Amino acid sequence: MALVTGASSGIGTAVAERLAAEGGWHLLLSGRDRQRLDRVARRTRGTALPADLATPDGSARLATRALAVAGRVDLLVAGAGVGWAGPFRTMPPSAITRVLEVDLLSVLHLTRLVLPPMVDRGQGHLVLVGSIAGQLAVREEAVYSAAKAALTAFADSLRYELAGTGVRVSLVVPGVVDTPFFERRGAPYLRSRPRPVPADRVADAVWSAVRRGRSEVYVPGWLRLPHRLRGVAPSLYRLLAARFG
């Protein structure tokens, strides 16, 4: 049983379709847009579980429904995400709450609910979809970057905690992805580089993490380079980031 959040569009849809193509998975698909989610569920022969993860009880309701329908969750792909772009000093408090609820808190709460049965069975896999913004920080995306950075730390900490239990934790780190994300965050992506990659590339990375048990996958792979530069030469990295954005 695989539970995929954010499955009504973008990365979540691509992941659902990739898992369906691989076969062997009963898909539990969550998203806010019921019509789009139903279409994805029909294409992938999955079960639609509409949920609004921006609400305080959204994760609990989704986990309860998923376990009631399927009895167990063997794979969680936490792909739901929202953004907001602009100076932090002008960011509405409601937008701060929404980004943190969807991108961070919902993942923590949902993981907390599906993890204990995985540990009891001695098997399971958590795939968390992070962002390069959480590794490097992005100008005028302070809260989104903070949420994704926290998700990175959560994945690392949980991986250490679950060593030897049979439950694996993977973090997929996409860069710019060609999805409706940018339209919904309130600002289009206007830079010429890095060029957006299709959502299918991220779905391939998720499948690679599942099939090979990889702890961390960057999409595209060259994004590891600026991350490593920031680690070994932080002053140089910050100088370059301030100049080139």
Q: How far apart are CA 102 and CA 84, in angstroms?
A: 12
Q: Which of 125, 130, 129, 204 is nearest to 169 (CA)?
A: 125
Q: Which of 210, 122, 109, 111 is nearest to 166 (CA)?
A: 122
- Per the rule left: phi > 0, alpha: psi between -120 and 50, beta: everything else, 30 is beta
Relative to beta strand 47-48, strand 27-29 is: parallel
Q: For residue 27, report the phi and psi dihedrals to the nearest 5 degrees.
A: -95, 130
What secondary structure letter does DSSP report for 102?
I
Intra-chain end-to-end CA distance of the chain, in Å: 41
Residue 189 designated active-site? no
> Are the C-beta atoms of 167 and 124 separated by less than 8 Å?
yes
Reported in sequence order, the residue ranges of the chain that DSSP labels E, i.e. its strands, are 2-5, 27-29, 47-48, 75-78, 124-129, 167-174, 177-178, 197-198, 216-219
Name residue 139's amino acid. Answer: R
Report the interhelical angle of 93-100 vs 142-161 (nearest 10°): 20
Half-sphere exposure of 198 (CA within 13 A, CB side): 4
Q: Which residues are catalytic?
A: 144
